[in-house]
A = this chain, B = another copy of it.
């Protein structure tokens, strides 16, 4: 059943059916109703493939995520997915596995004709190739919205969080507890989150006249295992830290693993504050003091930004191409892990 069948049945031309289907106003009410009756009677649904081919645009968007098993990203995807559903968009999901090459491959295979826009949390901010590819998509009229992480050298739309202030607040909370030997297990410094959280850490120390010791700053690569080794290194220092700032949920797990293995008790032998929450810990003995963010909302808003870009029409047409970057605030929730000698 296609548009010709409907036309014949309704005694009009295909173009009229098309007009009705697309809510054009230049069609007589009586005709519209006549056509609608056939459409509903036969439960006719237009073929999107054909329409997309004809018009040149689809209603699919692609989301490239570094690790869908990380609850942070699952929540982002949930937000995107909800907003997309409400506005009748479909979401392609691609897991880049925190792997730059894989990201390139996926980006290369992405068919412009199949997608209307891209939402991405890029693997690395150092990576010029991804940045280049994304800009190419923009030039082709396929807008890109970044989430959480930025890309190399370039301004693209995005939803980010104020990590500097959040991190600073977290570390100051440690300082308030009397800590002076505070270490940081960071992510890749080349990523916006990794970088900004480190800046926040530095800022807090500087503000409080605590000298920054380079041996107290170790990258855990935003991974549990990396963090575990980093923790090990830290605690083997001659003057080991009394407190740690962990830069994301994965590195936090690495810390916890280390503490557990070494029998270090949180809030007694060691203090910990971290970026991002781990909700499963709520009912355990681990009472994480953490910087929280409106994660679901970040995903939801990314999709909204993308739609705004669709509404803008083709960027190439206008010079008034406004970059939209939104930064949401993070906040600290104290639960006890910032304490020391407490128990």
Chain A residues within 8 Å of B, Cβ to Cβ = 45, 47-50, 52-53, 58, 60, 68-69, 71, 74-75, 77-78, 81-82, 85, 88, 90-95, 106, 109, 111, 113-114, 253, 256-257, 259-260, 278, 280-286
Contacts and interface: CB of A to CB of B under 8 A. Distances in A.
Given A256-B283, A284-B286, A286-B284, A77 B93 contact: yes
Contacts of A94: 81, 85, 90-91
Nearest to A115: B90
Nearest to A260: B283
A285 B284 contact: yes
A94 to B, nearest CB: 7
A114 B49 contact: yes
Nearest to A92: B90
28 contacts: A45-B111, A47-B113, A48-B114, A49-B49, A50-B53, A50-B113, A53-B53, A68-B77, A69-B71, A69-B74, A69-B78, A71-B74, A81-B94, A81-B95, A85-B94, A85-B106, A88-B109, A90-B114, A92-B92, A93-B93, A253-B280, A253-B282, A257-B283, A280-B280, A280-B281, A281-B281, A283-B286, A284-B284
A284 B69 CA distance: 20
Contact of A285 (B58, B253, B278, B285): B285
* Residue among A69, A74, A88, A256 having the largest count of chain B Cβ atoms under 10 Å: A74
Given A257-B283, A281-B284, A68 B78 contact: yes
A47 to B, nearest CB: 5
Which 7 residue pairs across A and B have the least CB separation, nearest first?
A256-B283, A284-B284, A280-B280, A285-B285, A93-B93, A260-B283, A49-B113
A248 to B, nearest CB: 14
* Residue among A52, A114, A282 having the largest count of chain B Cβ atoms under 10 Å: A114
A192 B8 CA distance: 48
Contacts of A282: 253, 257
B92 A68 contact: no
A247 to B, nearest CB: 17
Contacts of A109: 88
